[in-house]
Structures are given as structure tokens and as C-alpha cells.
Amino acid sequence: MNKFLWLCLLVGSVFMGHAQTVYFLDDKSGQPLEDVIVQSDSLHAFALADSKGAVDISPFKGAINIEVHLVGYEPLNTSYKQLDEERTIRL
């Protein structure tokens, strides 16, 4: 039983370590931006930033054209590769 629990913890930590999260922040204040829309028409993928400005970008893997929108901010056209490399995006 004890070995099983350790195995579950190990497997869980491996999967959590591969989470592909990007954070969207306000460029001036540095505060997290909630409800940022991230979408890729080619992959039919859509995501919305949570209250910490976090978005899981794993559904966008391989996308060349990703659109990022938030009312009151300039739209951003980017790629999965760029989001994955930067991890923190200031709008």
C-alpha cells in the first residue's frame, strides 16, 4: 500500500511538471489579467485566463497562429512556440 501511494505521488508530480501554463499581466501595473481570450482557429482551440492570468496552452501545441484578446488591450498574434518560450506575456 505504501509503495502504491509513493508511485501515485511520483506519477502525479511528473504530469504536473509538464503543465504548459502562460501568465498574462498588465504591462504597466504588472497585475494579472483575468478573462484574456486565447484562440486558434486552425486547431479549433479556445482558452480563457483565470483570476491569476493563467492559461494552459497545451491544447494549442504546434499552432503557428494564436490570437490573444482582451477588451481595452491591443490584440496579440503569436505562436505556440513563442508562448511556450516566454511563459509571461505583458499586454
Strands (E), 1-91: 21-25, 37-40, 45-48, 54-56, 66-69, 76-78, 88-90
pTM given for the model: 0.77
CA distance 47 to 29: 23
pLDDT tens per residue across span 29-82: 999 999 999 999 988 999 999 999 999 999 999 999 999 999 999 999 999 999
